[in-house]
């Protein structure tokens, strides 16, 4: 990569979080997002801003929690494009943490790296770029030098082809963050790509995005097990057009041998035999004929994969880590990533504009902390679907459902999900009772 000026420089000055960035002017003409990757020499998708905010926060949490000891932290920003994720790490992490990072910014497009380098030269991050390396080439090859503590995979489309080499590259304890924009496949709308890439099937119901996250986790878990590693999900998010998982990967032959204990099936409209064999200790055989909308089954349970009620194979364990998720508060998001008003704002934003940007930052972590205490619960209830299942008039308020279930001694919490829903370890009888209690009188 030479140091010549990239085509279209200096382009358009924008801000994401606290971090300034330059992008080609074509982006200001509407050529942004996944649909336009080939229409501009540098790819920038503002719809991923929440994704990058959460990446900053999770990296800060992991460092503060001692995931990587006391020395240097070796990270890869794979498929880096403009390098905005790297810039936000270096700009928005506390300097004591950012200074420990040695980052390889990888992209196969030399023009993207040229833009990234020019941006960092013109507007250096608050933290030094001394430990920043620009790497042109295929991530699948460049990642294979072992000992990485943090690998971020944010491709255009499916991440499948990058996962194997990324897991091999990790240190004995590392974190792998994976974005997947092939959501039509993972959520079951495109059945052939889903089977071809992930070896799974997913019902296109209200839980399709949750199922897609679990299918992706199952694939990562099985690949990790091949290399004597286990995964611990830290956070799993469906956000608009993409799915995102963040997992801690730990060297452990003993745990890798048990990977199938966390993989199974989701069955819609289960019968009594299926509910009785559910892997969840909280799903007992219902009484009074009240069967749940769905339940998980262990991988060894004989299922008919042609049965339209079946989704999987998928991860049936927890989708996240309670301690990590409880860190994701609006206050902490604003502290790390929220822009402050400046009368001499370089892109001309007024105080109201800055407040709008700060609200976007807060929304990117909404309900993650609330969900942290119930992320391991197997009941994920979409309230619209619950109303249809029980044939009641209007969907119950998820917040009121949470309150009633907690009053009954169960764990319950709102979700960070695209549709109004909650998680709980309550029995199905308790869920039905609360829903009926919230129905208006006739």
3-state SS, 106-171, equals EECCHHHHHHHHHHHHHCCCCCCCCCEEEEECCHHHHCCCCCEEEEEECCCCCCHHHHHHHHHHEE
Rg of the chain over CA atoms, in angstroms?
23
Supply the DSSP string of 373-410, one letter for each residue. TTTT-SEEEEHHHHHHHHT-SSPPPHHHHHHHHHHTT-
- Residue 423 lies in domain: 374-442
Give domain status of residue 270, yes or no: no
Give domain status of residue 97, yes or no: no
Give domain status of residue 303, yes or no: no
Q: Residue 67 has which token pair? A: 């995931």
HEC sequence for 4-30: CCCCCCCCEEEEECCEEEEECHHHHHC
Q: How far apart are the first and last CA of the chain?
A: 72
Which pLDDT score, from 0 to 100, does residue 2 have? 58
Give domain status of residue 301, yes or no: no
Q: Give the DSSP H or E segment for 364.
A: none
Which pLDDT score, from 0 to 100, does residue 31 have? 43
Give domain status of residue 71, yes or no: no
Counting every residue, how long is the chain? 442
Helices 428-437 and 398-407 cross at an angle (nearest 10°) of 120
pLDDT tens sequence for the chain (442 residues): 556 788 889 999 999 999 999 998 876 544 444 444 454 567 788 999 999 999 999 999 999 999 999 999 999 999 999 899 999 999 999 999 999 999 999 999 999 999 999 999 999 998 878 899 999 999 999 988 779 999 999 998 999 999 999 999 999 999 999 999 999 999 999 999 999 999 999 999 999 999 999 999 999 999 999 999 999 999 999 998 899 999 999 999 999 999 999 999 999 999 988 988 887 655 555 556 678 999 999 999 999 999 999 999 999 999 999 999 999 999 999 999 999 999 999 999 999 999 999 999 999 999 999 999 999 998 999 999 999 999 998 999 999 999 999 999 999 999 999 999 999 999 899 999 999 999 987 6
Which pLDDT score, from 0 to 100, does residue 30 have? 46
Give domain status of residue 425, yes or no: yes
| pTM greater than 0.85 (yes/no) | yes
Cα three-residue angle 372-375-379, rounded to 5 degrees: 140
Give domain status of residue 397, yes or no: yes
Supply the DSSP string of 34-86, one letter for each residue. GGGGGGSSS---GGGHHHHHHHHHHHHHHHHTTTTTTS-EEEEEET-TT-HHH
Strand partners, 153: 78, 178
Give domain status of residue 170, yes or no: no
What are the distances in angstroms from CA 402 to CA 18, 151, 436, 438?
A: 35, 36, 14, 12
At 393, which CATH number? Answer: 3.30.56.70
Separation of alpha carbons 436 and 85, rounded Å:
47
Task: Count the domains in the chain.
Answer: 1
Q: How many CA atoms lie within 13 A of 143 on its CB side?
A: 28
Cα three-residue angle 71-72-78, rounded to 5 degrees: 145
Which pLDDT score, from 0 to 100, does residue 282 have? 56
Burial of 429 (0-12, 13-18, 19+ CB in 10 A): middle
Which pLDDT score, from 0 to 100, does residue 35 have? 42
């Amino acid at each position: 990569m030479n140091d010549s000026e990239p085509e279209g420089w200096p382009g358009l000055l924008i801000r994401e979080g606290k971090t300034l960035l330059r992008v080609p002017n074509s982006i200001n003409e509407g050529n942004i997002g996944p649909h336009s990757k080939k229409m501009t020499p540098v790819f920038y998708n503002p719809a991923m801003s929440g994704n990058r905010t959460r990446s900053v926060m999770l990296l800060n949490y992991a460092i503060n929690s001692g995931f990587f000891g006391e020395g240097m932290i070796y990270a890869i920003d794979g498929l880096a494009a403009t390098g905005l994720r790297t810039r936000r790490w270096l700009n928005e992490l506390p300097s004591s943490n950012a200074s420990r990072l040695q980052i390889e910014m990888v992209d196969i497009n030399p023009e993207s790296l040229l833009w990234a380098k020019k941006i960092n030269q013109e507007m250096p991050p608050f933290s030094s770029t001394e430990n920043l390396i620009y790497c042109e080439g295929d991530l699948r090859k460049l990642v294979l030098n072992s000992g990485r503590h943090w690998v971020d995979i944010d491709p255009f489309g499916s991440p499948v082809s990058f996962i194997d080499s990324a897991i091999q590259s990790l240190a004995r304890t590392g974190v792998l963050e994976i974005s997947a924009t092939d959501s039509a496949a993972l959520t079951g709308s495109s059945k052939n790509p889903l089977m071809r890439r992930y070896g799974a099937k997913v019902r296109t119901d209200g839980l399709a995005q949750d199922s897609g996250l679990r299918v992706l986790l199952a694939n990562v878990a099985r690949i990790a097990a091949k290399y004597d590693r286990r995964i611990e999900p830290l956070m799993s998010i469906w956000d608009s057009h993409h799915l995102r998982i963040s997992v801690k990967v730990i060297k452990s032959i003993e745990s890798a041998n048990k990977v199938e204990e966390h993989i199974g099936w989701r069955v819609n409209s289960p019968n009594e035999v299926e509910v009785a064999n559910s892997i969840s200790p909280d799903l007992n055989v219902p009484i009074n004929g009240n069967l749940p909308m769905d339940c998980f089954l262990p991988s060894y349970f004989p299922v008919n994969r042609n049965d339209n009620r079946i989704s999987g194979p998928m991860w049936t364990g927890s989708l996240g880590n309670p301690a990590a998720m409880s860190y994701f508060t609006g206050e902490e998001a604003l502290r790390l990533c929220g822009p402050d008003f400046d009368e001499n704002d370089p892109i001309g934003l007024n105080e109201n504009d800055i407040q709008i940007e700060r609200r976007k930052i807060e929304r990117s972590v909404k309900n993650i902390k609330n969900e942290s205490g119930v992320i391991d619960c197997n009941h994920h209830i979409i309230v619209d679907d619950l109303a249809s299942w029980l044939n009641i008039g209007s969907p119950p308020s998820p917040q009121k459902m949470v309150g009633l279930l907690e009053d009954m001694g169960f764990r319950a919490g709102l979700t960070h999900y695209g549709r109004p829903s909650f998680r709980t370890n309550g029995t199905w009888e308790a869920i039905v009772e609360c829903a009926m209690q919230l129905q208006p009188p006739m």
